[in-house]
Structure 1
Amino acid sequence: MAIESYVTPEQIAYYTKLGFWDRWTFIDYIKRWAKAFPEKEALIDPEKRLTWSKYQTMVDRIALNFLSLGIKRDDLVITQIPNCVEAVIIEMALARIGACVVPIAMQWRGHELNYVISLTQSPAFIIVPEYYGFNYVEMARELQKNHPSMKHIIVLGKEVPEGTLSFKEMWENALETRTPYDYLDKNHPINANDVLTMCFTSGTEADPKGCPRTHNHWKSFERSGFLHHLTLNVHDKVVMALPWINLFGQSVGILSMTMVGGTLILLDGFDPATMAETISRERATVYAGVPSMHIALLRYPKLENYDLSSLRVVLTGGAPCATAIIEEMIEKFGCLVSNGFGSNEGHLNITEIGLPPELVSTTIGVPQLYSEIKIVDENGNEVGVGQIGEFCQKAPFIISGYYKRPDLNARKWDKDGFYHSGDACYLDENGFYHFVTRLKDIIIRGGMNISAEEVEFILYKHPKVMNVAVVGMPDERFGEKVCAVIELKPGESTISLKEVRAFMEKEKVAEYKWPEKVVVVDKLPRTPTGKVLKYVLRERLARKEM
């Protein structure tokens, strides 16, 4: 199945007529900025700094090298590499020839990759030789035995094992100097409805699903979200520690800066010391992260040694962020804060910058630009103001369907073209949407619905709590009871159930919402993007391992 078939001619005509889709590709943006600002820095990581001119050269060079390996239009190429300049070049080089990057989390292993390779029939697997002690070459060789479609194992690094291809040699193989300047444009034309990326859902509740997103999907997403709400522009420098492999990292970092001609600074994972030093040294203007990252940065003991006054905007997302944390970021960084709500499928709602901290924390903004939104009950009927239901959205930035999953597509998209997000939300009387919980994240205790996030917000106020995840645990009498799994702040050694319940009473919370079990852990299990894996906690509780 050709990947471009996921966008129908009817969709193209409809969104083009409305002006949401056009003919520009991300390759066109790279060409534009390379011509306008050839010596302006475009991509930075700890080892490389590329100007816009060099960015364009390397995209063309790697594209020609891919063609020489037989990688062609519509091929889906799997990568498993951390944040680095090479990752961006690989993504755009594949786009240059109409192929598509399939970026995979570094934590995935043979089980997940067997599934993805079988699904995509990838002709190549691009990896690093080793990462945090794990041998990716050895895993790739085992996978190759079972997947004849995977002809090439391409390895980053100075030295690569026998039987694999060196990406460094491709990087140095200047095929563009021996090829007519217009060869790629004439012989390998692309268009804005080609699939640019196929990220996979983070899998917090189910098997991962491929999300094919075209240039036009991404452009309308950027325009509606970050170019509008965050006013991202050519002067911005985004520092990105979020993994490049999913919507958050792609949208805030790679693709937004490509559209506006800004600068992207890539960090391999989040470390508060490195983040503070990088913002200060590079004079970064935008930083994005999940609440646990913000908390770690704010609690970094040497934070006052760094000048972070260049920060213009902080974007928070991935999970609700407490009002107190947003207030502290505004006070310490002197910046504005926006809250983003979305998924790899592409549904989106973002708060305007400049809103009071409480609205940033407790809402996901007014109806999103370019989109239609409805809140529906379990029968698909729209509900009124103040009533909780499922957030459904129809927009030019939402994918047209999961890759090779017509069964799921029939369930997740209704007859009117609205994507059903699985998120419980409501619209208030002032026109703001509020995220309540994942529909599967409601704890039902004796017939009473309890929002896990509501309890978490309260517990974040406790002086001993660093991070917390609230989940339901099985109970014969009530069906479920509330369990709080807590990471303590540095210097704290314990917190009892009695302390937690006394705090809930002090906060005047209805008693049925109080935790009835408290578990202290060193680290909560998380996805690569920082989302807590609540199903892991539920499974451990069900097996009485906690």
Structure 2
Amino acid sequence: MRTIPSELVKRYEAEGWWTRETIGDLLARGLRAAPDTEFRVHSEVRPWSGTFADVEVMARRLAAGLRERGVGPGDTVVLQLPNWVEAAAVFWASAFLGAVVVPVVHFYGPKEVRYIVAATRPHVFVGAERFGRLEFQAELCEDVPVVGVVGRDFEDLLADEPLTGLLPVDPASPALIAFTSGTTRDPKGVVHSHQTLGFETRQLAASYPPDRGRQFTVAPVGHFIGMVNAFLIPVLDGTPVNLGDTWNPGQALALLESEGLVVGGGAPYYMTSLLDHPDCTPGHLAHMKYAGMGGAAVPSAVTTRLESLGIAPFRAYGSTEHPSVTCTAYDGPAAKRLYTDGNLLPGAELRLTEDGEILTRGPDLCLGYTDPALTEAAFDDEGWYRTGDIGVLDEDGYLTITDRKADVIIRGGENISAVEVEEVLLAMEAVAEAAVVAAPDPRLGEHAAALVRLRPGHALPSMEEMRAHFQRAGIARQKWPEELHAVDDFPRTPSGKVKKFLLRKHIAAPQ
């Protein structure tokens, strides 16, 4: 792990950002305070309904069963499950034991799972017998001492009597290893301590509107932000948990109407696919007061559309490594909420390098990666994290992400921002979502290729129509896309980001 400068440790402790509370302490305190709070799973294959107290009993029986099998503080527990109640039981049980939980997105394939198991050497692996295209493969965890499969033998791990209390663990020690989506390489194992994860939970909860309603959580709990929103923040706040194991805009709209649930944002795709669904009516929009946007580049075309429909968007910037860096207030000025990624949150620090790269540090910054070489490359001796993102600060200190360092198209020696071109494309009436990538060019080296997801009932614009649109927008001609392709949907990471490396491969392949 990286070395955290002693002056930062002292500051975080003095400010109360880092405490002696573990994740197990946080959960036990919250569960005692609100045992009768609703916990539901809206699923066609594994629905469940109960209370926090019901889930805690399951989690404590699992913790006792794992303890009998030799699992304790510091041991690793890998879980690869959809948004089911068993995922909550495994996560909470791990916290009660002081174990290190390793959530894995349920639709990761054998290659990713094999890599994660090898990197974390787990004492426990809990998976699903089958879900969609996922099917449990025993050979992936044949060296793991304890294995449980939901739908087959998971209940065998539960002891008759639940674990009482918590096993002691150092709050500065690892609590979670969250694997990033791996858009360009094998997933990176991001290590968070009880202190960094606890601070992030409190920080993120404080940024949410108090009247946000009963949230419908469909972001995979195998992903960092889905896990925090599903299993930690509701316990901290005593608010209901309503999980969905697949993202189906039609189902979400039906639950808004029948159950009064709320879709509160996420990656832009969640909101645009909801708004573009043929079942979406003004009555549904009345259920949505806010849209907290993040997890991917947030186009102003999306935020302005939401604002025009009476939904207040507010943007945030962070990553699995440093989850909460900036945020716009949900009731802040529209100009900031719509067009910037916010100003610094308490404890967070930010500076820009000469080429605009964002460096950050703060109490929720991770301990490092499971791969020491990655840790050495990403963090410096003063505690700064090299994000790889490019941004600008306005006169009020609000940050706007303009690009990724690796997401620049170099056309004839001139840099083109993919984000800038995508913004212009999204202003076209037919375009619901856009991704711009570099395509090989025998003359210029690279040129911009655009792939678009169309709104229902619209045809792909012609190149002439697109060029006229860019000309009206006043965009320099060298930035105009020189290819335009329609897609039904994009390949995505668990957080909803577009896997641009796959798009680049597709564009570069001979047609």
Return the TM-score normalized by structure 2.
0.92
1:207 to 186, 194, 206: 186
Please give the alpha-carbon distance, in whole angstroms, between the structure 1 residues aligned to 2:289 and 2:236: 19
Answering whether residue 453 of structure 2 is matched by residue 487 of structure 1, we say: yes
Answering whether residue 156 of structure 2 is matched by residue 189 of structure 1, we say: no
C-alpha displacement of 1:338: 1.5
Answering whether residue 146 of structure 2 is matched by residue 152 of structure 1, we say: yes
Matching residue of 2:363: 396
1:39 to 32, 36, 42: 36
C-alpha displacement of 1:232: 4.8
Matching residue of 1:168: 155
Answering whether residue 326 of structure 2 is matched by residue 339 of structure 1, we say: no
C-alpha displacement of 1:96: 0.8
Q: Equivalences for 1:79-90 in 2 at 5 Å?
A: 79-90=79-90
Matching residue of 1:314: 291
Matching residue of 2:472: 506
Q: Secondary structure at the match of 2:386?
A: strand
Alpha carbons 1:195, 1:215 under 8 Å: kept:
yes
Which stretch has the larger CA shift, 433-442 or 196-205? Answer: 196-205
Please give the alpha-carbon distance, in whole angstroms, between the structure 2 residues aligned to 1:490 and 1:320: 23
Q: Equivalences for 1:208-287 in 2 at 5 Å?
A: 208-224=187-203, 226-232=204-210, 236-284=213-261, 287=264
Please give the alpha-carbon distance, in whole angstroms, between the structure 1 residues aligned to 2:432 and 2:358: 30
| Unmatched tracts of structure 2, length 5 or more | none
Matching residue of 1:384: none
C-alpha displacement of 1:322: 3.2
Please give the alpha-carbon distance, in whole angstroms, between the structure 2 residues aligned to 1:82 and 1:132: 10
Alpha carbons 2:322, 2:361 under 8 Å: kept:
no
* 1:268 aligned partner, one-letter code: D
Counterparts in 2 of 1:410 and 1:359: CA distance versus 1, 3 Å = same
Q: Secondary structure at the match of 2:261?
A: coil
Matching residue of 1:476: 442
Counterparts in 2 of 1:286 and 1:517: CA distance versus 1, 3 Å = closer
Please give the alpha-carbon distance, in whole angstroms, between the structure 1 residues aligned to 2:141 and 2:361: 40
Q: Equivalences for 1:111-150 in 2 at 5 Å?
A: 111-136=111-136, 139=137, 141-145=138-142, 148=143, 150=144
C-alpha displacement of 1:45: 4.1
C-alpha displacement of 1:211: 0.8
Matching residue of 1:351: 328
Counterparts in 2 of 1:86 and 1:370: CA distance versus 1, 3 Å = same
C-alpha displacement of 1:263: 1.5
Return the structure number with greater relative CO, CA threshold 8 A, min gap 6: 2
Per-residue CA deviations over 1:261-288 (Å, capped at 9, x if unaligned) read 2122111121111112223333335623
Q: CA RMSD in A?
A: 2.4
Please give the alpha-carbon distance, in whole angstroms, between the structure 2 residues aligned to 1:44 and 1:541: 39
Counterparts in 2 of 1:110 and 1:476: CA distance versus 1, 3 Å = same
Alpha carbons 2:276, 2:456 under 8 Å: kept:
no
C-alpha displacement of 1:441: 0.4
* 1:112 aligned partner, one-letter code: E
Counterparts in 2 of 1:7 and 1:246: CA distance versus 1, 3 Å = farther
Please give the alpha-carbon distance, in whole angstroms, between the structure 1 residues aligned to 2:230 and 2:109: 26
Alpha carbons 2:106, 2:222 under 8 Å: kept:
no
* 2:422 aligned partner, one-letter code: E
Matching residue of 1:406: 372
Q: Secondary structure at the match of 2:402?
A: strand
Alpha carbons 1:232, 1:256 under 8 Å: kept:
no
Matching residue of 1:386: none
C-alpha displacement of 1:432: 1.1
Q: Secondary structure at the match of 1:218?
A: helix
C-alpha displacement of 1:463: 1.7
C-alpha displacement of 1:43: 5.1
Answering whether residue 6 of structure 2 is matched by residue 20 of structure 1, we say: no
Alpha carbons 1:205, 1:535 under 8 Å: kept:
yes
Alpha carbons 1:390, 1:422 under 8 Å: kept:
yes
C-alpha displacement of 1:210: 0.5
C-alpha displacement of 1:328: 3.5
* 2:25 aligned partner, one-letter code: D
C-alpha displacement of 1:358: 4.5
Please give the alpha-carbon distance, in whole angstroms, between the structure 2 residues aligned to 1:132 and 1:119: 26
Matching residue of 1:369: 346
* 2:32 aligned partner, one-letter code: K
Please give the alpha-carbon distance, in whole angstroms, between the structure 2 residues aligned to 1:375 and 1:120: 33
* 2:437 aligned partner, one-letter code: V
Please give the alpha-carbon distance, in whole angstroms, between the structure 2 residues aligned to 1:93 and 1:202: 25
Alpha carbons 1:42, 1:261 under 8 Å: kept:
no
Please give the alpha-carbon distance, in whole angstroms, between the structure 1 residues aligned to 2:298 and 2:346: 23
Alpha carbons 2:313, 2:338 under 8 Å: kept:
no
C-alpha displacement of 1:308: 5.2
Alpha carbons 1:91, 1:100 under 8 Å: kept:
no
Matching residue of 1:30: 27
Matching residue of 1:383: none
Alpha carbons 1:327, 1:357 under 8 Å: kept:
no
Which stretch has the larger CA shift, 411-420 or 343-352? Answer: 343-352
C-alpha displacement of 1:494: 3.2
Please give the alpha-carbon distance, in whole angstroms, between the structure 1 residues aligned to 2:505 and 2:405: 18
Alpha carbons 1:39, 1:53 under 8 Å: kept:
yes
Per-residue CA deviations over 1:132-180 (Å, capped at 9, x if unaligned) read 14422xx2x22245xx2x12331112xx2xxxxx113445x4322xx6x
Counterparts in 2 of 1:284 and 1:330: CA distance versus 1, 3 Å = farther
* 1:114 aligned partner, one-letter code: R
* 1:113 aligned partner, one-letter code: V
Please give the alpha-carbon distance, in whole angstroms, between the structure 1 residues aligned to 2:54 and 2:342: 39
C-alpha displacement of 1:522: 2.1
Please give the alpha-carbon distance, in whole angstroms, between the structure 2 residues aligned to 1:420 and 1:6: 13
Per-residue CA deviations over 1:466-487 (Å, capped at 9, x if unaligned) read 2211011122322211110122
Q: Secondary structure at the match of 1:339?
A: strand
Alpha carbons 1:323, 1:358 under 8 Å: kept:
no
Please give the alpha-carbon distance, in whole angstroms, between the structure 2 residues aligned to 1:311 and 1:488: 24
C-alpha displacement of 1:298: 0.7
Per-residue CA deviations over 1:72-116 (Å, capped at 9, x if unaligned) read 221222221111121112111011111122111223222222221
